[in-house]
């Protein structure tokens, strides 16, 4: 699992929740997408220089990173509907 979140000074970070022996996988950028791409480059370098095994990743975004990434693809109305849906799920105890 790779977590992408808003860091200090409106920058973004991407990091794994898994521990690896001999290397760390990290990415940084001024956007969520840039942090994700930097993370992927970090992974490619770890494979080349440290013998990192082939891995599959799923990406998890914090709220600010998610909104920053998809703001051009979502309308305000769509965002409001999503917010209402999340609120309903939370009140019903759904994940």
Residue 53: pLDDT over 50: yes
- What is the pTM (predicted TM-score) of this model? 0.70
pLDDT on residue 75: 62
The answer to whether the Cα torsion of 85, 31, 8, 2 is positive or negative is positive
- For residue 46, CA distances in Å to 3, 21, 23, 28, 82 come to 18, 11, 7, 16, 37
Q: Which of 67, 57, 72, 54 is nearest to 26 (CA)?
A: 57
Identify the domain containing residue 71 by its residue range: 2-92
3-state secondary structure of 61: strand
Residue 39: pLDDT over 70: yes
pLDDT on residue 73: 64
User: Into how many domains does the chain fold?
Assistant: 1
Residue 61: pLDDT over 80: yes
């Amino acid at each position: 699992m790779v977590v992408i979140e808003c860091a200090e000074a409106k920058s973004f970070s991407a990091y794994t929740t898994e521990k690896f022996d001999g290397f760390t996988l990290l990415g940084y950028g001024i956007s969520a997408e840039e942090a994700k791409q930097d993370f992927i480059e970090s992974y490619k370098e770890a494979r080349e220089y440290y013998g990192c095994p082939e891995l599959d990743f799923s990406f998890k975004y914090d709220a600010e990173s998610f909104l920053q990434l998809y703001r051009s693809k979502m309308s305000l109305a769509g965002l409001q509907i999503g917010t209402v849906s999340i609120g309903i799920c939370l009140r019903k105890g759904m994940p």
